[in-house]
Chains A and B, each alone.
Chain A
Amino acid sequence: MAGLLDIANNGGMPDEGVPMPEGMPDEGVPMPEEPMPGGAEQDLDYDAQLQDMESRVPGDLKEEWDRIMVAGMKFMFDKQGNSMINKALETEGDQAKTVGEGCARLMVMLFKESRSKMSQELIIPAGIAMMLLLVKYMKKARFPAFTAADLGRAVEIYMATILPAFGVQPEQFDQFIDQQAAQHEGR
């Protein structure tokens, strides 16, 4: 899976080359140097987050995780789909909603395409991983400013969209979190 991250580093084109050796400048569009809108807003280390998430994937789900990521990235970054994704991202409107709901749809479609064989454990984390990859790509490709706050909202929207699709109401999830938090705080 680390290779997939490198694909993302490589301009998002899965078929392009091999990751550059450490210390080499990243090819492709440079990261924006200007500060993000909103002043001194700190950006997220997407690679670290993705690697952190990957490290938590149980061994028996690792291969499936890789497959999901490959399939998702192909949809997002191959020549056929990328232009349409770009168009969607360039459209005026709530970018967080586009990204959050888009990734939720992506995961549902992949689940459907897998004939429901995809492990449900991976739906939430894989969708968030896709989102991180997409936002990283947006940063590199200098899409209209997508702030870290937008990412936070996108994750929230993603959860609010993906949970009902699988029969869980967001309120149920919130209550569950509240209950667990109270329970564990009481320990």
Chain B
Amino acid sequence: MPKTYLSVAMSRAWGFDNPIGDPFGGPAYGARESLGLVAAFASVAAGVGMIGTGVAITALGGITVGTLVGGALIAGGVMSGVGTLTGNQKLVKWGNTLSMIGGVATLGAGMVGGWQNAAAAEGATFGSKAMGALKGAVDPNMIKAGMDSVGTSFNQFTQNISGSFNSPAPAPAAAPGANISSANLVNGGPGAPAPQAGATALPDANKLAAQAKAGALPSGTITNPSTMPAPAGVDPSRWAAMNESSRQQVLVNLSGKSNGLLGMSPTTITAVGMGAQAIGSMVAAKANEKAAAEQARVQKEYNDAMLVLNERKTTLDETVYADQQKRLDDELARKMEQIKVVSTQAEYDALSAAGEAAVLWSPPAPAAPASPRVAAPPTKWWNFDVRGAANSGVVGAVA
């Protein structure tokens, strides 16, 4: 595999902004201390104290620890999988909860549809399926939103239970599009953030029901939230698809939770509510289809790249490297042919007198020199590395 090596100066320059490793090659960042690190890894006796000396706990504690915990969302599926496989209940619980938080947090951020929430709930309910819970929310941007949410939540939690952290927890940021959270819509959840400017506000289901009972339900109340702009980093088309999915799920939720609404609302609302399940399924299937296609495309790109790399490697092996090796072998053989190997001192002396290169294989014991004596060639220096009589072989090349 071809490598790009950076000069020392460039490596240092890069090191300021990218302190972990040179992605193109060379030693990873900190390799100069690798022995110390490996020793630390290897030394069980080092215990936690080793970590304590490495990181100032007081400097870290309470400032962004929520971020640390939020990052656990990424590992939630693995924890769940390992826990389920090994019967480790603690891991199962961690994994399931983290997966569930991931699913709900991303839903709360208004970026996934209800079908993904359902997937998360399913995963949380059935331990071994928890890994699949986030599969519907596999968009890393959504995970990021979930991580932020959990980080904030954890910081608040730690403040609430102990108040031990010096710095105040950051104020919970209003999640983009949080106003379309199904939790807020259906339950009118407390603390639901106010709609963002320019966003289309959706009504509370309870309020809708009350309005319906009072005969005051306006038609066309349920509006399309897809008018909201996609958050940074989210594919607008996917955003739109998911908003549509959310909208459909909202309709499903409304139809399921508010029978009164169905009975008293205008026909159009009833019809939409009854058909919402089917539409939601179709949207979900479509989104799954799209995700599967995207996954297949990425996999194909990866496979293609690997094929190219393999071809290049094969080409290198068969041409450049093979050719280089052959030339080296030929050169070595040619040099070796020039060297006379003799076993007696008399022959060696004779060749030396004639100015030819020679190696004395069996020097007279015990006063023989450690390195072979070589008759000085007339025009060149010859360097030999002879591994003693026991090995009986010249292993070095001729310079």
Q: Please report A residues at the B interface, Cβ cutoff 8 Å.
A: 2, 6, 17-22, 42, 44, 49, 52-53, 55-64, 66-68, 70-71, 74-76, 78, 80-81, 84-85, 87-88, 91, 93, 97-98, 101-106, 108-115, 117-125, 128-129, 132, 147-149, 151-153, 155-156, 159, 161-168, 172-173, 175-177, 179-181, 184, 187
Contact = CB atoms under 8 A, between A and B. Distances in A.
Nearest to A102: B41
Contacts of B30: 71, 75, 109-110, 113
Given A2-B302, A42-B85, A184-B124, A85 B41 contact: yes
B119 interface: no
Given A84-B38, A84-B42, A109-B30, A68 B77 contact: no
Contacts of B64: 120
B358 to A, nearest CB: 38
Interface in B47-79: 47-48, 50-52, 54-55, 57-58, 60-65, 67-75, 77-79
A101 B47 contact: yes
Given A2-B302, A67-B18, A165-B52, A44 B140 contact: no
B44 A101 contact: yes
B97 A148 contact: no
Interface of B: 1, 18-21, 23, 27-31, 33-35, 37-44, 46-48, 50-52, 54-55, 57-58, 60-65, 67-75, 77-79, 81-83, 85-88, 90-91, 93-94, 96-98, 100-101, 104, 124, 131, 134, 138, 140-141, 143-144, 147, 151, 153-154, 157-158, 161-162, 183, 233, 302-303, 306-307, 309-310, 313
Q: Which of A76, A118, A120 has the most CB of B within 10 A?
A: A120
B42 A113 contact: no
A124 B74 contact: yes
A151 B86 contact: yes
A110 B21 CA distance: 10
B322 to A, nearest CB: 15
A39 B13 CA distance: 54
A60 B50 CA distance: 31
Chain A binding surface SS class: helix
Chain B binding surface SS class: helix
Contacts of B58: 167
A172 B57 CA distance: 15
Across the A-B interface, the 5 shortest Cβ-Cβ residue pairs? A167-B61, A88-B42, A121-B71, A58-B144, A152-B86
Contact of A148 (B29, B65, B71, B86): B86
Nearest to B63: A167
Contact of A124 (B28, B33, B75): B75
10 contacts: A42-B85, A53-B78, A59-B233, A67-B21, A71-B30, A110-B30, A125-B74, A152-B85, A166-B60, A180-B97
Contacts of A153: 88
B131 A18 contact: no
Contacts of B70: 121
A61 B174 CA distance: 22
B44 A53 contact: no
B79 A161 contact: no
A100 to B, nearest CB: 11
A80 B30 CA distance: 13
A72 B178 CA distance: 38
Nearest to A150: B86
